[in-house]
Chain A
């Protein structure tokens, strides 16, 4: 595995996993907003998605045109196994780094 994931990249990957089969841009933005309490612009979300796709961590498929989007299609994302492995190793690293630290900093 090469390279580390940035924090925002991790958030996006988790958001895709949380959204399940309905993970498209607006939903991902909403997940990050509601769960992490961060406000992220859709522009930021999309540039990061593009980067993750280039890294081969996520895949996408294109849906049908929808009237509520002005006849535009949705692009749905899902996390590839490589992306899951990246998240796992990031989390493991975090746990190791926090072991033995005073309560608020130690990860569960």
Chain B
């Protein structure tokens, strides 16, 4: 019987020694042990063996490499080896590595960029302390939508409410800074004294407004500056506090500067704030003068429901007391955070969905690549499992590889995200809040890291399981030929279906948006935009205190501008279509329409100069245009648009009918003409009632008017310098804020949809490319696997056409299944896109047919190309290939 060394010692040795040494050292010891038993007896041999074991155990063993056999090791043992192995494998297959890393980078980069935008915009909320307690309080308009509020309503709420900690009213304010030649129009807000306290912020320099400054006396006496404006205009001079500056011809004292971190979200461009300064009985402080917005802070101890109930009670009491001033009881209360997102949430959510789909396609593709490569490595796995490697290390190895690639993709993706964010910010439509806060920061990187890990796990799991199931017996029987496990084949087929389905969802989304944008831009604006350019003008100061002077100024400007070469028409108007201006007035016909005048319809009011319709290209449908003869002393006249004619007068003839704009004191005006409709609020907002009156016949002279000039059709901006010159000759102190062509306004109106569309197009193209690559990979692999079969069949006389037909059929079967799944998902999911669509149904058939056709075509090409290559291989070669 052969003497055996003490087994306990051997086990200790094997546990202690690194894999590179263990076998040889233990083997040497056993060999020497047997020799010793012969010469010195088993007792001395045992003692020697134990002594040698002890010497091994006390020694430090450098771990230069790990044992290939990890069957008995805990799961984490050798993880570093896996990482190294993964890196080595990655280096050895550069094409595979590049493909996988790029795929991951694309998906993760897009996700990172979108997350950078979403994080400050959607997830963080307004940057004020306890912003969740801030709400805006609005009067309902005739449709129950949030609308502005009159001053007495605000003071009533302030007096009656017990649930509010602070509240403030605000209105927009555009003071003029400076004097002759360098006049600048500033953007600001007039606010009640608690405004900043309501938001929970205070000036970083100087002090906040005092209650007594919110009066006639304080109204034009004190001002608080924004940080950016203070830096830009006063070079951050802290001596500014207490100094006076000239605002709209008045000397006002700077009492405070807001901190750099203060973001004015309620009026994004505001840089100066002054007290509202209304007192009881002021003209603009009437109950019907709805031009204020109210922000309020709910007490921490009060629930939103309690606040809602209390405000309803206050409103009901007000309506009972002043029935003529309110159409209905109840305020529209909108939390500030919700208000900021109201318009952009659908876009951002739709894009988030698109990114998730893209990421899913990326994962599916990588899974496919892994499975494809798993075939090539199946012999490696089989040998390893034959050598006793348990399933845990094999699964772990594949997962570690997938994770490494995903992390590499994540790092590259961070770069893509960085570039993507800049692109997003560049493309983003106006109105996405806090866009200046969008950066790739630590949070974004952390998110990317988590997402990369998740993707690695998702993409690695299926191949890992497939690797474990590698059938050793089958592999050996196949004599080293690569054979494909049933699991693996089914899995890949399933992935093709998923890929086609997801690509279909993304592409239908893209298609629907594309058609929406087409429809939207085809909406008639009602005016002839090309060739028109707009310049807002503002008269201010004591020189324009008289309305007659204001009218005279505009008349002289028009005279001068019309003589500029290249100008074929010019007019002024109080509000411009599609420019964001919003000025609606109640319209009361001479024949009463409703008992309560507050229930009467309202419409957009345009105070115009003669020639407005001709300059804008708005058609006059019936009656006559406003002429220079409709002056201040002539009988008051108006023109109304077709929509208003239909809505208010129905079948009756509106011409020669009389109506009032605004309150009871305003004169009755005769309808003399009916114009075409123009879009005021947006291309996607149907035509509203519009009413045009000669500016000189209005009760007051609008201090802000927009000059519209018809210049050269190709580039109306060419005449702008000459027009500016002409205005400066009349009054150099009048500032011209921003010059915008009407075409730009029209484009801007479609900007949100265009933004969504551009992103969907990018994602759709990326998804189509990835899906096509994935399909090609899978189908090519399955054709290559069948090269031998194809060879035999061609040898037996099957024509290329027959074989190709069969290849195409099997590809189309998979793709078709994917299309069916994708269609079902799209139909269920594109309802999410609803709010971004315009006159296109979420189940638009044209889009669906086009996308399905495209995907099936791509699948067909992806199958035919490898199929064609297989058919061209001579049968003898195919058979020899084994």
Residues of A within 8 A of B (CB): 24-26, 29, 41-44, 46-47, 50-51, 54, 62, 66, 68-70, 72-75
Contacts and interface: CB of A to CB of B under 8 A. Distances in A.
A70 B30 contact: yes
Contacts of A26: 28-29, 31-32
Contacts of A72: 23-24, 26-27, 30
B61 to A, nearest CB: 7
Given A72-B24, A73-B23, A50 B62 contact: yes
Given A44-B55, A50-B21, A62-B24, 19 more contacts: A24-B28, A25-B24, A25-B25, A26-B28, A26-B32, A29-B32, A41-B55, A42-B56, A43-B56, A43-B58, A47-B61, A50-B62, A66-B31, A69-B27, A69-B28, A69-B31, A72-B30, A73-B24, A74-B27
Contacts of B32: 26, 29, 42
Give the size category of B's interface with A. Answer: 20 to 34
- Best-surrounded residue of A26, A44, A73 (most CB of chain B within 10 A): A26
A108 to B, nearest CB: 34
B64 to A, nearest CB: 7
Contact of B28 (A42, A47, A54): A42
B793 interface: no
Contacts of B31: 26, 66, 68-69
Interface of B: 20-21, 23-32, 34, 51-52, 55-56, 58-62, 64
- How would you classify the secondary structure of chain A's contact residues: helix, strand, loop or mixed? helix
Nearest to A53: B64
A14 to B, nearest CB: 19
Contacts of B51: 41
A42 B62 contact: no
Q: Top 3 closest A-B pairs, CB basis? A: A72-B27, A41-B55, A69-B27
Contacts of A47: 59-62
B24 A24 contact: yes
Nearest to A40: B55
Contacts of B24: 24-25, 46, 62, 72-75
14 contacts: A24-B24, A26-B31, A41-B51, A41-B52, A43-B56, A46-B21, A47-B59, A47-B61, A69-B31, A70-B26, A72-B24, A73-B27, A74-B28, A75-B24
Contact of A44 (B21, B26, B27, B59): B59
Given A47-B59, A50-B62, A54-B64, A42 B52 contact: yes
Contacts of A42: 25, 28-29, 32, 52, 55-56
A47 B58 CA distance: 12
Contacts of B21: 46, 50
Contacts of A29: 28, 32
Given A46-B25, A50-B21, A68 B59 contact: no
Nearest to A41: B55
A30 B27 CA distance: 15
A96 B85 CA distance: 48
Contacts of A70: 26-27, 30
- Best-surrounded residue of A29, A46, A54, A68 (most CB of chain B within 10 A): A46
A68 B34 contact: yes
B450 to A, nearest CB: 39
